[in-house]
Amino acid sequence: MKLSIGKKPAIIPTPILIIGTYDSAGKPNVMTAAWGGVCSSDPLSISFSVQRTRHTHPALCEKKECTISIPSTQHVKEADYFGVTSGKDRNKFSDTGLTPVKAPSVNAPYVSEFPLVIECKITNIVSVGVHDLFVAEVVDVLVDDAYTTPDGKGDLSKIPFFFYHPLERSYYKTGEFLMQAFSTGSLFK
């Protein structure tokens, strides 16, 4: 039997997206978003939601370019700090000692110490309640060379990812391999 628990953000897991922009003064800034994900395969696109009050919001609207850095468990505290502090008041890079690097293909900074970076160009902005949902086309993906094979391909299986649990408002590690997807086509017929 099912019991109602009311309106809750009951999607588990949600990713940790570190959105990188230059603000109007040219200062590199980052904010953490858990409301986002892939939204189309072709052209490959990502959507993520940002409240209009956030310092990152005008930078996204004006520059129409950003990075999304994905942190590993090594930087869970820094990723959390990027979500609880505003770039209006602080320089989050100098506060945490992490390094902003200009992305090669878009006019936005990424976090050098984070293993995975998505370069994005914003193609649409959709108002949804208190948030704007930004739709962004993926321009390129960068992986730290600590996580590549000798022939130069990404080997992401070694990156210790983590995620946000929105009902517990806490972070968890990703866990063990279960099974290959798209493998059950004839299993139940």
DSSP-derived letter for residue 157 is: G
Task: Reduce the DSSP state of residue 48 to 3 states and report it.
Answer: strand
**C-alpha distances out from residue 46 to 33, 40, 167, Å:** 13, 7, 23
By CB under 8 A, tell whether 174 contacts a second copy: yes
Nearer to a second copy, 25 or 176 (CB): 176
- What is the total residue count of the chain? 189
Least CB distance from residue 85 to a second copy, whole Å?
7
CA 103 to chain centroid, in Å, comes to: 15
List 25, 41, 53, 150, residue binding a second copy (CB under 8 A):
41
By CB under 8 A, tell whether 99 contacts a second copy: no
List 59, 71, 78, 87, residue binding a second copy (CB under 8 A):
78
Taking CB under 8 A as the binding criterion, the range among 22-30, 58-66, 175-183 that sits at the site for a second copy is: 175-183
Which tokens belong to 136? 């962004």
List 27, 63, 64, 166, residue binding a second copy (CB under 8 A):
166
By CB under 8 A, tell whether 176 contacts a second copy: yes
Question: In the stretch 8-27, what mask flags binding to a second copy with x, by CB under 8 A?
Answer: xxxxxxxx-x----------
Do 50 and 63 touch, CB atoms closer than 8 A? no
Residue 33 to residue 163: CA distance in whole angstroms: 11
Residue 12 to residue 97: CA distance in whole angstroms: 31
List 24, 62, 77, 88, residue binding a second copy (CB under 8 A):
77
Give, rounded to a whole angstrom, the gap between the first and last alpha carbons of the chain.
28
For residue 13, whether the previous peptide bond is cis, meaning omega lies within 30 degrees of 0, is yes
Nearer to a second copy, 14 or 23 (CB): 14
Window 133 to 162, contacts with a second copy (CB under 8 A): 133, 135, 138-145, 148, 152-154, 156-157, 159, 161-162
List 28, 36, 71, 109, residue binding a second copy (CB under 8 A):
36
